Homo-oligomer: A and B are copies of this chain.
Amino acid sequence: MRIALDAMGSDNHPVPDVEGAVLASKTYGVTVVLVGDQSTIKRELQKHDTIGLPLEIVHANQVVDMDDKPAQVTREKPESSIHVGMGLVEDGQADAFVSMGNTGAVLAIATLQKLKRIRGVHRPALSSIVPFVGKHVILADIGANVDCKAEWLHQFAQMGSIYARQALHYANPKIALLSNGEEEGKGYSLIHETIPLLLADDSLHYVGNIEPKEVVHGGADVVISDGFVGNIFVKSLEAMGMALFDGIKGEIMATQRGKLGGLLLKPTFRSVYKKFDPFEIGGAPLLGINGVVIIGHGRSNAKAIQNAIRQAKFAVEGDVVEAIKDGINNRSV
């Protein structure tokens, strides 16, 4: 298996990207094709022992910055590492593309220029896979599409369900709609319009509306929302998590007693943090595209990037793209 990695993706590229590639090629037996500025990648690779590892480099002339506007990137940076890496998948020279880079740019390039939507897919969905209570929960959409239609949400549910089955090996993934309450009648118009579509679809194990608290407690395997709501949800969880950890850290460092307690609880904090750490999964698929594209966070470290490559491997092994093609076009999975 050959997985193309955007070596110019993360905030600190190419350092964690290259290290993640080295770790993944060593651990998972996949060939990692590093895409980006050749001399930069070569220099970075020299810091690692790569003898015998299945690593390759494909040069790309341009780098997409985190604050580049997607529309600008598609126009002005046609030779970016994102374009080149996705092109490898398009040409059959790689089985998947992984990037920690500018999400909007990856999305725009995938949708408009490379790979493109699977026929029959209304809108690709940006997903996130979050480790809630030790279980991997797929959230979709978390930001690709605002102002959604019910048919789109229905497809997000189908694609999320297929991914959960094929890549995460969930036997009968529980699908839920993110809402402000579980009772019938809760939600807003889009939710009311989506429910009958999910209920009528025998391929889906739809379990109802679900509140944030239930999501965090693992109440469903695939949680569907429009991209605006999903984005607010994910960012709210992250914001609160960061605020609490920062708050605790600040208080601990303020007193001698706190420092001692903090030292004793180091394993505790590490273990709790790990339970919610998105880097344990590393990246999540852009669903509905003609190819496996895994997107991770710009802040990713090498471990996260290694894990994102593993996620790509799961998606390729699960033949997710073909399964979505079949599922969407037959309306039965």
Contacts and interface: CB of A to CB of B under 8 A. Distances in A.
Interface string A195-236: 000000000000000011101110000000011110111011
A272 interface: yes
Contact of A236 (B217, B236, B243, B245): B236
Interface string A232-270: 110111111111110110011000011011111101110
Question: Which of A229, A232, A271 has the largest count of B CB atoms less than 10 A from its CB?
Answer: A232
Contacts of A46: none
Copies of this chain, whole number = 2
Contact of A244 (B188, B189, B251, B272): B272
A314 interface: no
Nearest to A227: B180
A87 interface: no
Contact of A216 (B243, B245, B275, B276): B243
Given A236-B237, A239-B213, A188 B228 contact: yes
Nearest to A71: B185
A183 to B, nearest CB: 9
A147 interface: yes
A251 B235 CA distance: 25
A293 to B, nearest CB: 20
Contacts of A143: 180
Contact of A276 (B180, B243, B252): B243
A1 interface: no
Given A143-B180, A232-B232, A272 B260 contact: no
A228 to B, nearest CB: 5
A112 interface: no
Contact of A188 (B147, B178, B245, B269): B147
Interface of A: 143, 146-147, 178, 180, 187-189, 211-213, 215-217, 226-229, 231-233, 235-245, 247-248, 251-252, 257-258, 260-265, 267-269, 271-272, 275-276
